[in-house]
Amino acid sequence: MKKNYLLALLSAFLLWLAWPPIPFTAPLLWIALVPLLWAMEAVMRGPYNKKGLKITLLGGFTGLLWNTASIYWVFNALNAAMPVYAAALVSLIPFALAAVLMALAFRLYYQLRKHHGIGLSMAGLVSFWITYEYLHQTWDLAFPWMNLGNGFASSHPLVQWYEYTGVYGGTLWIWLANILLFMGILSVKDKFGPIHRYKWFVGFLLLVTLPSGWSLYRYATYEEHINPADIVVVQPNIDPYGKYSFLSPESQLDQLIRLADSVAQPNTEFFIWPETAIASPRGYNEDEFRENPAFLRLQDFLSNYKNGNVLSGIESYRVYHQPETPTARKFEGAELYYDAFNAAVLVENSARLQFYHKSKLVAGVEQLPFGSALAFMTPLFQAFGGTTGGYGSQEAPSVFYSQSGIGAAPVICYESIWGSYVAEYVEQGAQFIAVITNDGWWGNTAGKDQHLAYAKLRAIETRRWVARSANTGISAFINQRGDVVQQTGWWTADALKQDINLNEAITFYVRAGDYLAYAGCAGSLIFGTVLLVTFGRRSRYRKQAQS
């Protein structure tokens, strides 16, 4: 088994090497899974006991190493606010949980191979894998950061066709390429005839080159419809671990305004400020914000910009007379309830306010997954974010509209990983995407670079500009082809101005959503039924033989 684990280690290494932010290595994803498939084939053909367990362990081993090497920064972020033992425990959610789901997909593949041909079993493996990815973006422990299709974020000219498929098209592409190459190598080992062997290698080359060639052509010839709007993004560079220790909320607001003023023009339409940029230790009551000095300061700032709007992150809350939501909490000593929000607000040259409440909350930091079942873990999370399990949210995205009619998608931090969720904004009328985030939690690690790279995929899927404002991360402008046109440095206070092109056209992916994921789930149901039927027949035969 040692050789098989070395092959699994090789797959984990290739997957890590291909992963963002390492540049120019994404094509390794076309071959990265072949060593693992070869190791599993060796187990299935070898004189081993408990083959199913060995297959499961090989898959889990590969997934654990790949995930941990690629998202090690999760531990960095947690360890800055928690004891080492607590950070290590919570880190197991993103490190190990996906690996367990990957291992389950390979175990089901093995069960198919025991009774059915390799072609049907490989189709089942792809379906099971896509189902794992879809599950891992929809349940309470959602963390779709490591979906295979995200791997091409650093080589976005090769996947311009994501405007039709989204990242699940990339997952399918990677798996099909690896399977075709593996089948070619296997046919050589099994000494099949030349025609049988060559068809797999020719299929692999065609599968790799045709989509890549079309994508490069699309990338080279894509032209944006000219519909300019002047946008400013601000990076205030305020240490998130000492947000109220170093600067008062008033001083933070002054810094944001000073940076915005330094690059703005009279025709600037939007000023994009980062996640929780407008903040106070207690947050802001949304119903009373118009009377708050912060709102009056913003109105004074915008008086210099006729069409100006501030789209900013804000820590806010709403007050209820009854517990109107599952996350509502009671005020101490009063018959009132409230929800706290990680929110976005649009302030304009009028009394109108628009709020959006972050929907995709970070498990463990912004919400306690599975409610009361994991309530015992609450003390571990309280140091990181302060309102674990208590953030309110809204069910669906909502677009901010300026007085001039421009639609902006307020995407808060972690939400930018969900292609289908961002697509909902565009379907509602968003003409550009505003990502507001605070990547400073992770330090100067690969996390901030991966988060920026994934935003390029959202630009391609929707053919929308992305204006990205990060507090202490990397702020940037990304065009409709996924190119980073401008970006700030790390850990610097800065502001960028860019004329972007608004877009109203709707891509196929925006209309269809994650249809490939739905197809994968349907495939899993079919192959799962095949397994159940096979198991039922074998049980009947066993009973008949015993009788």
Please tell me the distance from the alpha carbon of residue 215 to that of residue 220, in angstroms, as a whole number: 9
Query: So what's the pLDDT on residue 543?
Result: 63
Between helix 167-189 and helix 515-546 the angle, nearest 10°, is: 50
pLDDT band per the 50, 70, 90 thresholds, residue 384: very low
Q: Identify the bridge partners of residue 229 per DSSP, sorted by sequence position.
A: 500
Query: So what's the pLDDT on residue 447?
Result: 93
Query: So what's the pLDDT on residue 78?
Result: 73
Are 466 and 477 in contact by the 8 Å Cβ rule? The answer is yes
Query: So what's the pLDDT on residue 375?
Result: 47
Please tell me the distance from the alpha carbon of residue 403 to that of residue 477, in angstroms, as a whole number: 23
What is this structure's pTM? Answer: 0.92
> Is pLDDT of 14 > 80?
yes
Are 177 and 202 in contact by the 8 Å Cβ rule? The answer is no
Q: Identify the bridge partners of residue 367 per DSSP, sorted by sequence position.
A: 363
pLDDT band per the 50, 70, 90 thresholds, residue 441: confident
Q: Which two tokens stand for residue 436?
A: 């507001």
Regarding predicted confidence, which is higher, 390 or 436?
A: 436
Regarding predicted confidence, which is higher, 373 or 209?
A: 209
Residue 478: partners with Cβ closer than 8 Å, 6 or more residues away? 455, 456, 459, 465, 466, 468, 484, 485
Query: So what's the pLDDT on residue 381?
Result: 47
> Is pLDDT of 386 > 80?
no
Peptide bond into 369 cis (omega under 30): no
Query: So what's the pLDDT on residue 219?
Result: 98
> Is pLDDT of 260 > 90?
yes
> Is pLDDT of 410 > 70?
yes
Q: What is the pLDDT of residues 165-195, one digit of tens each?
A: 999 999 999 999 999 999 999 999 988 888 8
Query: So what's the pLDDT on residue 540?
Result: 66
The HSE-up count of residue 303 (CA atoms within 13 Å, CB side) is 7
> Is pLDDT of 249 > 80?
yes
pLDDT band per the 50, 70, 90 thresholds, residue 335: confident
pLDDT band per the 50, 70, 90 thresholds, residue 244: confident
- The DSSP string of 190-226 is TT--HHHHHHHHHHHHHHHHHHHHHHHHHHHH-----
What is the number of residues in the chain?
Answer: 547
> Is pLDDT of 378 > 90?
no
Nearest in space to 476 (alpha carbons), one of 444, 447, 448:
448
Please tell me the distance from the alpha carbon of residue 521 to that of residue 464, in angstroms, as a whole number: 29
Query: So what's the pLDDT on residue 300?
Result: 96
Mean pLDDT (whole number) for 442-460: 95
310 φ, ψ (degrees, to nearest 5): -105, 120
Please tell me the distance from the alpha carbon of residue 413 to that of residue 394, in angstroms, as a whole number: 15
Mean pLDDT (whole number) for 376-395: 58
pLDDT band per the 50, 70, 90 thresholds, residue 331: confident
> Is pLDDT of 82 > 80?
no
> Is pLDDT of 388 > 50?
no
Q: % helix / strand / coil in the chain, to the nearest 5?
A: 55, 15, 30
Query: So what's the pLDDT on residue 202?
Result: 96
Nearest in space to 125 (alpha carbons), one of 536, 534, 516, 527:
527
Q: What is the pLDDT of residues 34-70, one digit of tens each?
A: 999 999 999 999 999 999 999 999 999 999 999 999 9
The CA-based diameter of the chain, rounded to the nearest angstrom, is 90
Q: Identify the bridge partners of residue 317 per DSSP, sorted by sequence position.
A: 285, 340
Phi-psi region of 333 (alpha: psi -120 to 50; beta: other; left: phi over 0): left
Regarding predicted confidence, which is higher, 376 or 320?
A: 320
Query: So what's the pLDDT on residue 547?
Result: 58
Query: So what's the pLDDT on residue 8?
Result: 97
Which residue blocks in 19-153 are alpha helix, DSSP H?
34-45, 51-70, 73-79, 84-115, 118-135
Query: So what's the pLDDT on residue 370?
Result: 64
Query: So what's the pLDDT on residue 539?
Result: 65
DSSP symbol at 275 = T
Query: So what's the pLDDT on residue 329?
Result: 80
**Summary mean pLDDT of the chain:** 91
Query: So what's the pLDDT on residue 383?
Result: 45
Q: Supply the Cα-derived Rg of the chain in whole angstroms.
A: 25
Regarding predicted confidence, which is higher, 375 or 300?
A: 300
Residue 415: partners with Cβ closer than 8 Å, 6 or more residues away? 358, 359, 360, 421, 422
Mean pLDDT (whole number) for 243-261: 91
Q: What is the pLDDT of residues 458-500, one digit of tens each?
A: 999 999 999 999 998 899 999 999 999 999 999 999 999 999 9
> Is pLDDT of 382 > 50?
no
